[in-house]
């Protein structure tokens, strides 16, 4: 190979070698502060409910395995994620239906919105899920859902699937028998956070998350390796403004209001999900006493030394 004689020849040679000069990049590799990629957005339960109801008529769990409807962030080029690391979905199970057992490396959790009589079985322990409850299905735990009641059961799923996509350790398998053979019914479980317990804990909490709520309680510590969960009670009125390198999804458990993220104002009510991507300044403004579940990938940033947080 001859030696390049000009810059043009040098750059042409780089191209042929699948290399690039650090001083001559098509795209920058380093920048001073986080870029704005994923967009602030809200998905509203009132809009989703009739659609999921219709999916209930048209799509069986036999066919679908999971009747879940994922929230895809509208940022251009995104194919799946709700924010960079997390995906949220609405799921509905009708009376008599079973979502068969499976396991996967993504961690998951659910927040129950409506309907009683549905159980989730995690590694052989069957727990009834009631509105306001939060249930965990950690990495590689077998899990199945069964509706033995009379109500359509609606809930929100949150998973770290986009993190697994990014890092690539994806494994998934169906249970060989459809359901686990040995199942025990339990009321108390390390994977179940009961609404009445959460409410009682909120009553006695003095943690206001630096002015981001009236009171918060953490569910787990962390709930999952990649996810922290905070149940937050908002008083009527505005919170302070917060910015963090972590991503957050807020699920509305009770109440109504709006979240201001930069210039974007997103109004919300019960069952809605608000996406607050990394490093966006945001505050909530509740129009009545409200409760939000904050689902955040903060543990990932903590473990890697990249958590930066500011409260204005
Ligand atoms: O209920 O097991 O929304 O595996 C996405 C993947 C729910 C579940 C989702 C899942 C589940
Ligand atoms: Fe699953």
Q: What is the pLDDT of residue 39?
A: 98
Checking if the pLDDT of 61 tops 80, the result is no
- Could you give the angle at the alpha carbon of 302 between the alpha carbons of 140 and 241, nearest 5°? 115
Q: Give the count of alpha carbons within 13 A of 18, CB side only.
A: 0
pLDDT score for 197: 98
Q: How far is the CA of 122 from the centre of ligand 1 (A)?
A: 13
CA neighbor of 38 nearest in space, from 90, 81, 69, 89: 81
- pLDDT for 62 equals 80
Q: Is 143 in the pocket of ligand 1 (CB under 6 A)?
A: yes
Is the minimum distance from the CB of 294 to ligand 1 under 6 angstroms? Answer: no
| Structural domains of the chain in order of their starting residue, each with its CATH number | 41-193 (2.60.120.10), 196-311 (2.60.120.10)
Minimum mean pLDDT range among 61-75, 150-164, 239-253, 261-275: 61-75
Ligand nearest to the CA of 71: 1
Task: Using most ligand atoms within 8 A of CB, pick from 52, 68, 160 the residue to mutate for ligand 1.
Answer: 68
Q: Are 296 and 219 in contact (CB under 8 A)?
A: no
**pLDDT of amino acid 60:** 86
pLDDT band at residue 192, thresholds of 50, 70 and 90? Answer: very high
| pLDDT score of 264 more than 80 | yes
| This model's pTM is above 0.85 | yes
Confidence check: pLDDT of 63 > 90: no
Which residue has a Cα nearest atom 11 of ligand 1? Answer: 66
For residues 61 and 152, what is the distance between their CA atoms, to the nearest angstrom? 13
Is the pLDDT at 190 greater than 80? The verdict is yes
Ligand 2 centre to CA of 306 (Å) is 29
Q: pLDDT by residue (tens digit) across 39-50?
A: 999 999 999 999
Predicted pLDDT of residue 64: 83
Say how many Å lie between the CA of residue 140 and the centre of ligand 1. 12
């Amino acid at each position: 190979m001859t030696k390049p004689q000009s810059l043009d020849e040098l750059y042409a040679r780089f191209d042929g070698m699948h290399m690039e000069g650090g001083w001559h990049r098509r795209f920058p590799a380093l920048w001073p502060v986080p870029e704005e990629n994923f967009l602030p957005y809200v998905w509203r339960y009132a809009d989703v409910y009739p659609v999921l109801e219709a999916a209930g008529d048209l799509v069986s769990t036999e066919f679908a395995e999971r009747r879940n409807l994922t929230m895809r962030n509208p940022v251009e080029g995104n194919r799946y994620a709700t924010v960079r690391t997390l995906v949220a979905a609405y799921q509905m199970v009708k009376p008599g239906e079973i979502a068969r057992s499976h396991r996967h490396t993504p961690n998951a959790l659910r927040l129950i919105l409506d309907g009683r009589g549905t159980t989730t079985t995690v590694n052989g322990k069957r727990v009834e899920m009631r509105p306001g409850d939060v249930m965990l299905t950690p990495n590689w735990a077998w899990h199945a859902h069964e509706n033995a009641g009379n109500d359509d059961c609606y809930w929100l799923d949150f998973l770290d699937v986009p993190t697994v996509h990014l890092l690539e350790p994806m494994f998934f398998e169906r249970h060989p028998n459809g359901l686990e053979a040995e199942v025990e019914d339990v009321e108390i479980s390390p994977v179940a956070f009961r609404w009445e317990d959460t409410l009682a804990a909120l009553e006695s909490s003095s943690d206001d998350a630096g002015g981001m709520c009236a009171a918060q309680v953490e569910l787990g510590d962390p709930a999952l390796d990649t996810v922290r969960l905070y149940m937050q009670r908002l008083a009527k009125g505005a919170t302070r403004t917060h910015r963090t390198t972590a991503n957050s999804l807020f699920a509305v458990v009770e109440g109504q209001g709006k979240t201001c993220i930069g210039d974007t104002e997103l109004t919300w009510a019960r069952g809605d999900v608000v996406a607050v991507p990394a490093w966006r300044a945001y505050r909530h403004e509740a129009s009545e006493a409200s409760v939000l579940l904050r689902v955040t990938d903060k543990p990932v940033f903590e473990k890697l030394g990249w958590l930066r947080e500011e409260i204005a």
